[in-house]
Amino acid sequence: MPSVTNHEFVKPESILSGPSESGEFPDWFCDQQRAAWREFESLPKPTRKDQAWRFANVGLLDLSPFKHGGTLTEKERATILEQSRGLEEVAGRMIFAGDELIERDVISDQLKKRGVIFQPLERAMVEHTDLFRKHFMSQPAKLGSAKFAALHQALVSSGTFLYVPRGVEIELPIEIFHWLNGENTSAFPHLLLVTDELAKVTVIEHFRSVNEDAPGFACGVNDLVAGPGAKVTYVCAQNWGDSVIALQMNSTIVDHDASAMSLNLHLGSRYSRFESLSRLIGEGGRSDLLAVAVAKDQQEFDARTLQDHVSPHTASDLLYKNALDDRARTIFGGLIRVEPHAHFTDAYQKVRNLLLSDDSEANSMPGLEILADNVRCTHGATSGQIDEEELFYLRTRGIPVPVAQRLIVTGFLDEVVQRLNHPAIAEHLHRLIEEKFAENHG
């Protein structure tokens, strides 16, 4: 007999039945959730005719099978904890199964003393209401998924709140795990990260499924705020099971002289859409957007980005690389927008696709909207395949074709990972990529 925790969902219900009325959240939050639910219901379903969903397989977005996460058995809990292995050394850690926080390794007393707050979302909304309300989903979902952002807001019930005060630098990364457990379950991951002036922090999120083949649904939102002069690094290692439908909407605010870097690694899921909005609101701000995807079988990775230059003297640099095999598809829809008066913008955007099979398909839509004149903006998109000469060279050195191919692809992707300049995380991401290739060749 599985032991039942004190969580209320005894019988899992469809996510389409709306927000839970469990009464565990403050009234203002419940009001927000009800309003968000109404918004979710009123907004139309995306169609391929919407520019923001061009090329996307919107038919995959049927939410009717998905239900709220059920309760875990002790055995499942133990398995998840056992498998939640990421980096060797971390400053703090949270592990979520569905929307339930199942373990938290708190930050050191020293960091606590200096004012760092690292706690579950539902506690932060009570204990740090002002900070929470100021930043929680403060950016509208501009990249097409307003409907799903509303769904997230209506149904989110936990997540991570991290606040780093002025001048505090957290050397080791903060690590967060999100697990989908069981058939057709759902998760609504949320990270609210606020850094004050000159603070520094690195966060890595892992997205995984307990059962590789189980269908599931994930709909996450991250609010990342880089205060003046702060340095924020965010890494996402998306490795959901191969039948999962996942949507993630990240928005980053970059204040003056701040620097934000994000790297999204996409390995898992059936369909994964990742929206990254980076808003540069202060002079001297810089944003680096990086992504690596290894897509195979029928996988579809749908990346939409917006580098929004609001203030003059800001810089952004995007580098997305996809390796595609089998019948996989990737979509990149990116936009550099330079608002009026955002002069002295320096923006760059590059997407590169490496096609490894005849049935793979790469769609690229690198876009520019420039409303100021004193700018330097360039973008590029390339699609190609493994260079025969490179392959030949490796073969003359006695390296068999499959190994040579893997080396070339890994090398192709490595350029992006190296940009992180974080050896421990780079090593972890490499391992994940290697594992994915290992599956590929039986």
Partner 1 sequence: MKTETSAVDIDRNKGDFFYPEAHVRDAGIGLSERTIHYIADVKDDPAWVREYRLRGLKTFLEKPLPTHWASKDLEAIDFNKIRYYLSPGTEPKRSWDEVPDDIKRTFERLGIPEQERKFLAGVEAQFDSEAVYSNIKKAVGEQGVIFVGSREGLKNFPEIFRKWFGKVIPIADNKFSALNSAVFSGGSFIYVPPGVKVKHPLQAYFRINAENFGQFERTLIIADEGSEVTYMEGCTAPKFNTPTLHSAVVELIALKGAKIQYITVQNWASNVFNLVTKRGLAQENAEVKWIDCNIGSRLTMKYPSVIMKGRKARGEVLSIALANDGQHQDTGAKMIHAADETTSNIISKSISIGKGRATYRGLVHVPKHLKNCKNNTECDALLINATSRTDTYPAITVRGTGNAVQHEASVSQVSTEQIFYMQQRGLTEAQAMSLSVNGFVNDLVRQFPMEYSVELKRLIELEMEGSVG
Asked if 140 interacts with partner 1 (CB under 8 A), we say no
Asked if 139 interacts with partner 1 (CB under 8 A), we say no
The answer to whether 199 touches 235, Cβ cutoff 8 Å, is no
Angle, vertex CA 148, rays to CA 143 and CA 150, nearest 5: 105
Q: Which is nearer to partner 1, 26 or 367 (CB)?
A: 367
Asked if 298 interacts with partner 1 (CB under 8 A), we say no
Whole-angstrom distance, CA of residue 33 vs CA of residue 143? 21
Binding mask 29-68 for partner 1 (x = CB under 8 A): --------------------xxx--xx-------------
Q: Which is nearer to partner 1, 262 or 360 (CB)?
A: 360
Using CA atoms, how far residue 248 sits from 7, 339, 352, in Å, is: 26, 25, 22
* Interface segment toward partner 1; rule CB under 8 A; list 67-75, 152-160, 278-286, 381-389: 381-389
The answer to whether 229 touches 203, Cβ cutoff 8 Å, is no
Q: What is the separation of C-alpha 63 from the centre of its chain, rounded to a whole number of angstroms?
A: 20
Asked if 365 interacts with partner 1 (CB under 8 A), we say yes
Which residues does 422 contact at the CB level (< 8 Å), separation at least 6? Answer: 173, 202, 233, 235
Asked if 2 interacts with partner 1 (CB under 8 A), we say no
CB of 375 to partner 1, least distance (A): 6
Query: Which sign does the torsion angle of CA 363, 189, 215, 428 carry?
Result: positive
Asked if 131 interacts with partner 1 (CB under 8 A), we say no
Q: Which is nearer to partner 1, 119 or 360 (CB)?
A: 360
Q: Which is nearer to partner 1, 103 or 390 (CB)?
A: 390
Asked if 378 interacts with partner 1 (CB under 8 A), we say yes
Size of site (CB under 8 A) for partner 1: 41
Which residues does 10 contact at the CB level (< 8 Å), separation at least 6? Answer: 4, 71
Asked if 374 interacts with partner 1 (CB under 8 A), we say yes
Asked if 384 interacts with partner 1 (CB under 8 A), we say yes
Q: Which residue has the tokens 């997540």?
A: 159
Asked if 399 interacts with partner 1 (CB under 8 A), we say no
Tokens of 70: 């059920």
* Interface segment toward partner 1; rule CB under 8 A; list 273-281, 302-310, 379-387, 414-422: 379-387
Tokens of 262: 């994000």
Among 43, 131, 381, 391, binds partner 1 (CB under 8 A): 381
Which phi and psi angles does 130 have, rounded to 5°?
A: -65, -50
Asked if 358 interacts with partner 1 (CB under 8 A), we say yes
Q: Which is nearer to partner 1, 380 or 411 (CB)?
A: 380
Pairing of strands 329-338, 361-370: parallel
CB of 184 to partner 1, least distance (A): 32
* Interface segment toward partner 1; rule CB under 8 A; list 154-162, 174-182, 205-213, 356-364: 356-364
* Interface segment toward partner 1; rule CB under 8 A; list 30-38, 119-127, 169-177, 337-345: 337-345
Asked if 367 interacts with partner 1 (CB under 8 A), we say yes
Among 340, 400, 402, 411, binds partner 1 (CB under 8 A): 340
Asked if 357 interacts with partner 1 (CB under 8 A), we say yes
- Which H/E stretch holds residue 31? helix 27-42
The answer to whether 437 touches 185, Cβ cutoff 8 Å, is no
Query: H helices of 43-178, where?
Result: 74-83, 109-113, 121-127, 129-135, 146-155
Which phi and psi angles does 342 have, rounded to 5°?
A: -85, 65
Using CB under 8 A as the criterion, which residues of the chain lie in contact with partner 1 when the complex forms?
Answer: 49-51, 54-55, 340-341, 343, 353, 355-386
